Amino acid sequence: MSIIMHIDMDAFYASVELRRRPELKGKPVMVGGSTRGVVLSATYPARERGVRSGMPMTQARRLCPKAIIIQPDFDTYAEVSKAIVVIFESVTAVVESASIDEAFLDITGSVRQLGPPSAIGEYLRAVVADEQQITCSVGIGPTKFIAKLASQAAKPDGLREVPADDVISFLHPLPVEAMWGVGESTSEKLHRLGLFTVAELAHTSRSTLQRAFGVHQGALLSDLAWGRDHRGVVARAPERSVGSEETFGKDTDDPEVVKRELLRMSARTAYRLRKARMMGRTISISIRFADFTSLTRSVTVTSPTDVTDEIHHHAVALYEKLGLQRARIRRVGVRVEGLVEAERAYRQPELTEPDKGWREAEQAMDAAIRKFGPAAVQRAALTRRARG
């Protein structure tokens, strides 16, 4: 049984704007164009006055004349969206961006290592809030359809999980307007047939629905009304890099804590490289400071690698060259770029290198982890919780 998560940013454009203008928090704000344009996003105080996304700006201004109107900044929204997707990819590689402000995640393979679905969802909500200062709503279910409905039920700034056994009890009391693909015209047609709830729709024969809405749409309405949705999460095309990042529990200026976390991120990145059967030649680190400023540094090595110690060696060298001198650090990350398929990669051997070394040892560790779980084999340096 699949476990699908739908994450929807709350009033995305408006929330991003409030980061830059925190004095507007709690006030009605609309993001959109001129008086001839439409509302692209609105804060919840504006929504309480009836303002909705897609509404003509003239109508929205009549409903909420005291609202503050902000011109959209699409470059910033796209940048924030990309950063959020990176957060999602920290828990699963199967991420489908449905739009700039929402995504589906298949976390079926993540629960063994990361815990129950609700814990993963709360973790992602916390990281998005911490890193991007915006909120999101999370829905979890056995299908994309149920997960999306669950995220709508969780709004704003909440989480709703619908286990497979609870799908019907969750779905059937909903109005037909909640159904995927049911717009104004379709809902009016359903109402003319005497169908107002999903339960009433579900108990209408498929043939009746197909006569009224066509073979394809009628069948789709019937299936969705019973929670049946065979569409899987389609991951975006893989980028030519693999990486990991982690935010400290509290800011730290201890170089040993930073280096140990760089080792943890190097090990995680190397594992992901080996799992993807890839190796890379460019190693980069990212540092985010307590004031939320960031920097990155990278180095290109002679031979492609997927070995933790090699990646960590270069990551630490990059960090030490920065000479940060007690700068308080919030987050570190390690990334490997310039990827090639492991089978086609040529590694220049060192004269002192044994026939079998750390790469073979880590492959054996990978096999143990796959069989016995993530705690089966760990580096001694990483069994101690990082301080700071």
pLDDT score at 385: 47
Max CA distance (Å), the chain:
81
pLDDT score at 233: 94
For 172, the 3-state DSSP assignment is: coil
For 299, the 3-state DSSP assignment is: strand
3-state helix, strand, coil in the chain (%, to 5): 45, 25, 35
Stretches where the chain sits below pLDDT 50 are 350-356, 385-388
Does the domain at residues 241-382 carry the CATH identifier 3.30.1490.100? yes
| Digit-coded pLDDT (tens) for 146-157 | 999 999 999 999
The CATH number that domain 172-225 falls under is: 1.10.150.20
pLDDT score at 371: 56
Say which CATH class 1-163 falls into. Answer: alpha beta
Distance of alpha carbon 269 from alpha carbon 266, whole angstroms:
5
- Please report where in the chains the tokens 């969750």 appear, as a residue: 170
Spatial strand order in the sheet of 136-141 = 95-99, 102-106, 4-9, 136-141, 159-161
Catalytic (active site) residue 161: no
Query: Annotated binding residue at 254?
Result: no
| Helix residue spans in 172-214 (DSSP H) | 184-192, 198-202, 206-213
The answer to whether the predicted template modeling score (pTM) of the entire model surpasses 0.85 is no
Catalytic site residue from 102, 131, 245, 261: 102
Of 277, 302, 248, nearest in space to 366 by CA: 277
- Under a CB-based contact definition with an 8 Å cutoff, are residues 144 and 6 in contact? yes
Adjacent-strand bridge partners of 335: 243, 284
DSSP letter, residue 110 = T
pLDDT score at 7: 98
| Digit-coded pLDDT (tens) for 176-227 | 999 987 888 999 999 999 999 999 999 999 999 999 999 999 999 999 999 9
Domain extents in the chain: 1-163, 172-225, 241-382
Query: Annotated binding residue at 366?
Result: no
